Structure 1
Amino acid sequence: METRIFFNPGDSIANIHDYNEAVRKGQIFKKERKIDDLVIAKGPDDEEYAIFYAKDALPADHAKAQPYDVKEHL
């Protein structure tokens, strides 16, 4: 089951059309930066996958919040 989470689109690390490419780039970024709180999420436009720091999630009522469906936690 997917989880809906809210982010400011401007906080994304990357936006990628291909899911497998998004996961690969997220894993590389995670390894290089030695972090463990990345999220791959499908954007509100349903066209791109975005990579975010999980800690950057916003409350739903935040002015810049847009809904994303979490596809994977890295």
Structure 2
Amino acid sequence: MVRVSKKTDKDDLLVRLGAEVRAKRTVIGLSQEAFADAAGIERSHMGKIERGERNVSFLNIVRIANALGTSPSKLMQDAGL
């Protein structure tokens, strides 16, 4: 089985999710560091998520959505996923 990464994400799903996370984070006025802290995710890992370089686990999607004040399903929908 091939692991999903930026190189194998032909539909740019990870990039689209990361861009949506970054856009929502910017709207609420949090730095990447403050947002990562609020979500309980290490800052460098959050940067890789926002750049679409990491396949995000379900638990991290839930943490990110909670920190954004939204639901995981709404986050995915807004990202066009």
Shorter-chain TM-score range? 0.3 to 0.5
| Higher-strand-fraction structure | 1
TM-score (normalizing by structure 1): 0.32
| Higher-helix-fraction structure | 2
